[in-house]
Amino acid sequence: MYESYFGLKEKPFSIAPDPRYIYLSDAHEDALAHLLFGVQEGGGFALMTGEVGTGKTTLLRTLVQQLPEHIDLALVFNPMLSPLQFVATVCDELKIPYDADKASLKLLIDALNKHLLEAYLDGRRTILVIDEAQSLSVEVLEQIRLLTNLETTREKLLQIILIGQPELRETLARTDMRQLAQRITDVFHLEPLGIQDVRNYLIHRLTIAGAQKPIFLDSAVRAIYSASGGVPRLVNELADKALLAAYAREKRQVDKKMVREASKQVLASNNESQFGWLWGVTAAVVILAAAGILYLWQQSVPTANDHMLQQPMTSGQGGGNQTPAAAVNEQPVAQLSVADDTPVLISNGVSTPYEPPEVAADQAAAPQTGDSITPPVDSEALPAQATAEVSSTQPSSTPGTGEGVLHPQVEQREDRAGRVITDQVTDAEKESDEQSNKQTIALDEWIYDHSEETSRENALKELVSVWDVDVDSRSDPCRSITEYGLQCLKMSGSWAMINEINRPVIIQLHLDDQHSHYVALLGSDDESVVIRFNAEVYHFSRRELSARWFGEFELIWQEPPMGFRSAMRPGDSGEQIEWLRDRLGEINGEEIPTENGEDLFDEPLAEAVRSFQASNHLKPDAMVGMQTIIRLNSASPSDSGPRLRVKG
């Protein structure tokens, strides 16, 4: 209805789990990366939980899209089954034939075991993913435990991923579930988004839908965060209703009043849905109870609408960051604007991101798993590459209107850490760019000319070639490089993040032909990028490429010599800890002191890890996962892997 009015190609805030629109917060990114790694390496049993609407199903669909070809997948979306029905469903998903009239648990499991063994011998892996797993009965959970016994002498034949709401964790914490719980090797919990992620989430979805102009004012963003508590599904519903309200009023931008009106509809309808069963019980009580008791009951229970409107939902609900509406400071957000109601999609203000103290404190206290990227709090804390990209000049805007104006010679984008990256073009720079562009190629024209060759597979082969490893060109590159201790990893981020990682990557580009195109990026600076294609090197304008890149990239990273199964943490011991201590000592130029031996992850080593993580904009939690290992390798003088080419 409102799409054409706002210049959109489609509705940006549909609640359908469309992977094109997925926005990866640090927690989502970490969970997806670990799940993909576990799938590729043959990990055992994973558990992912999150409140309703936090993006579990969307993350699942993204995982499914990125599975390697040698993976067989069984998806169970309706787990409210008996053990026999459940195993039959798994067989159906894997296309295992059986006689339905004579089916029994033994016959089905025998057929499943035979199929898994044959797949294993053919070099294939099988994964069972169960969504809405909080609905599983105790009997089915026990059957799942028994399925984990299907194995060879070397590894499990069936990988299992349970996805569900937090009640699932409560069930698994029961004493009678301890045998199953002990077999779970990876646990992830998706928290609601923080205010900065809500801001980036809105920008991301509007961009994918084709938005070219600012739509949401900053005050509207804060109102959406306050009302939704950072739950993506509620953010979608609020933003959709607010756009509809703006359309009805013939307004080109959404303000906080429109969001507040939308919240009355969205939160009330969600509340009625959540408590609908309670009203049925209440009706029975009305019929059976005496008038006096009924009166007392009515006085003691607030109405659903009063509860929802007097205490707006926050990200603290369901164990997230607890931020009351009053804690969302109404001061201008410096990162977004000079005035309060500056549009947020593409802002003109460029300065240090503002985060209300209450929000920042809660986010720091929120538990996170693995390596999380912590946004710098000031420009001095940015990496050298990122600092060079941040302009301190405020572009002009129309005075007194409160509306942001897109400067014709300013290009801005907001990175994954919430920083606004701005390239401001002066007249001298414009003249220099015109001269420089004579030596570069028009990106769109070049991609259209080579569109049949810009596949992910071809880009991966280019990426593998710069690592100087000998692999069969006919095989899957990501599978072939594992014999060298190398792994492929998909991520989402910014130019600053790629520069920090300092490795060649594949970037995914989106053109008007609605197809994805992949190219191998060997290097970049503020003006140009270096692309490798068919063993040749090409230079393109970075501004032109940025307009076609939404943050998706893929890299190759080197495991520690003894491999990588899970994050290293304080208290661990073994060869991998010796490697970690040696690598940090090499980077720091001095040995890391030890309390109880070189192979123990003790407090001096933990402190050195935290210091390294903080200096590389990672969460300083002493958990050494993939993100930290990647940064350690890049920082190591003895690491022989390829680095990004950077001019100057």
pLDDT at 303: 38
pLDDT at 514: 60
Count Cβ atoms within 10 A of the Cβ of residue 534 and give its class: 0-12 exposed, 13-18 middle, 19 or more buried: exposed
Using alpha carbons, select from 496, 493, 495 the residue that is nearest to residue 383.
496
Q: Are 544 and 531 in contact (CB under 8 A)?
A: no
Backbone phi and psi for residue 292, each to the nearest 5 degrees, phi listed first: -65, -45
Q: Please, what are the averages of pLDDT over each run of 10 residues along the chain (648 residues)? A: 88 79 79 79 80 83 82 87 93 92 91 92 90 91 90 84 89 85 84 87 91 88 90 91 91 92 76 43 45 46 35 35 34 32 37 34 38 38 31 35 32 38 37 40 79 86 88 82 89 80 89 76 84 87 79 89 85 91 93 86 92 86 90 91 72
Which amino acid is located at 533 in the chain? F
State the CB neighbour count (10 A cutoff) for residue 225.
29
DSSP secondary-structure letter at 568?
Answer: B
Domains, the chain, with CATH or none:
26-190 (3.40.50.300), 196-385 (no CATH), 435-558 (3.90.70.10), 575-624 (no CATH)
pTM as predicted:
0.45
Which amino acid is located at 155 in the chain? E
CA–CA distance, 147 with 140 (Å, rounded to integer): 10
pLDDT at 334: 30
Which amino acid is located at 498 in the chain? I
pLDDT at 269: 57
**Helices 232-248 & 218-228 angle (0-180, nearest 10):** 130
DSSP secondary-structure letter at 161?
Answer: E
The CA-atom distances, in angstroms, between 106 and each of 86, 102, 219 are 13, 11, 61
User: CA 224, 226, 232, 238: dihedral to nearest 10 degrees?
Assistant: -30
Tokens (6 digits) for 235: 């953010």
pLDDT at 163: 92
Residues 6+ positions from 20 with CB-CB distance below 8 Å:
208
Residues 405-443, buried b or exposed e (16+ Cβ, 10 A)?
Answer: bbbeebbbbbbbbbbbbbbbbeeeeeeebeeebeebbeb
CA–CA distance, 305 with 296 (Å, rounded to integer): 19
CA–CA distance, 188 with 445 (Å, rounded to integer): 43
